[in-house]
Amino acid sequence: MSPASMDVTNPFYKPFRAPHEALPFDQFKLEHFAPAIERGLELAKGRLDVLRKDASPATFENSLLVLETCDEEASIAAEAFFNLLSAHAVEGMHALAAELSPKLADFSSDIYLDSAIFARIREVHDKRHSLGLNAEQLRLVERTFLRFRRNGALLDETAKARLRAIDQELASLGPAYSENILKATNAFELHVTDAARLEGLPESVRESTAEAARKKGKDGWLFGLQIPVYMAVMTHARDRELREQISRAYASRAFGGEFDNQVNVLGIARLRLERARLLGYATHADYVLEDRMAEKPERVSKFLERLIAACRPAAERDVAKVAEFKAAKTGDGTLKAWDFLFWSERLKEEKYSLNEEELRPYFKLENVIEGVFEHARRLYGLSFLQVRDVPVYHPDVRVYEVSDEATGNFVGLFYADFFPRPEKRNGAWMTAYREQGYFGGRVRRPHIGIVCNFTKPTESKPSLLTLDEVETLFHEFGHALHGLLSDCTYRSLAGTNVSWDFVELPSQIMENWVQEKEALDLYARHYETGAPIPVELTEKIKASANYLAGYSGLRQLTFASLDMAWHGTDVSAVKDVPAFEDEAIARFRVLEKVPGTNQSCGFSHIFDGGYSAGYYSYKWAEVLDADAFEFFREKGLFSREVAERFRDHILSRGGTEPPMDLYKKFRGREPDPDALLRRDGLLG
* Residue 476 known to be catalytic: yes
In contact, 420 and 223? CB cutoff 8 Å:
no
Conformational region of residue 254, where left means phi above 0, alpha means psi within -120 to 50, and beta covers everything else: left
Q: Which helix (H) or strand (E) segment is 433 a member of? A: strand 429-434
* DSSP states along 91-112: TTHHHHHHHHHHHHHHHHHHHH
Chain centroid to CA 592: 29
Residues contacting 52, CB < 8 A, separation 6+: 114, 116, 117, 120
Residue (of 43, 48, 46, 42) closest to 68 by Cα position:
48
Residue among 423, 476, 511, 622 flagged as catalytic = 476
DSSP type of residue 216 = T
CA distances from 580 to 259, 366, 565, 570, 585 (A): 20, 45, 9, 11, 9
The helix/strand/coil state of 268 is helix
Query: 117-123: long-range contacts (C-beta < 8 A, 24 or more apart)?
Result: 117/48, 117/51, 117/52, 117/67, 118/148, 118/153, 119/58, 120/51, 120/52, 120/54, 120/58, 120/63, 121/58, 121/63, 121/64, 121/67, 121/145, 121/148, 122/148, 123/57, 123/58, 123/63
DSSP type of residue 651 = I
β-bridge pairing 447-451 and 410-417: parallel
In contact, 220 and 191? CB cutoff 8 Å:
yes
Give CA–CA dist 537/363, Å, rounded.
Answer: 12
User: Length of the chain in residues, anyone?
Assistant: 684
Between helix 227-236 and helix 203-215 the angle, nearest 10°, is: 130
Give CA–CA dist 281/286, Å, rounded.
Answer: 6
Residues contacting 364, CB < 8 A, separation 6+: 462, 463, 464, 465, 525, 527
Give CA–CA dist 487/159, Å, rounded.
Answer: 39
Torsion angle of the four alpha carbons 213, 218, 224, 230, in this order, in degrees rounded to the nearest 10: 60
Give CA–CA dist 28/97, Å, rounded.
Answer: 16
DSSP type of residue 464 = B
DSSP type of residue 331 = S
In contact, 30 and 90? CB cutoff 8 Å:
yes
Residue (of 464, 297, 285) closest to 365 by Cα position:
464
Residue 468, judged by CB atoms within 10 A of its CB (0-12, 13-18, 19+), counts as: middle
Give CA–CA dist 390/75, Å, rounded.
Answer: 20
* DSSP states along 382-431: EEEEEESSS--SSTT-EEEEEEETTT--EEEEEEEE-S--TTS-SS-EEE
Active-site amino acid positions: 476
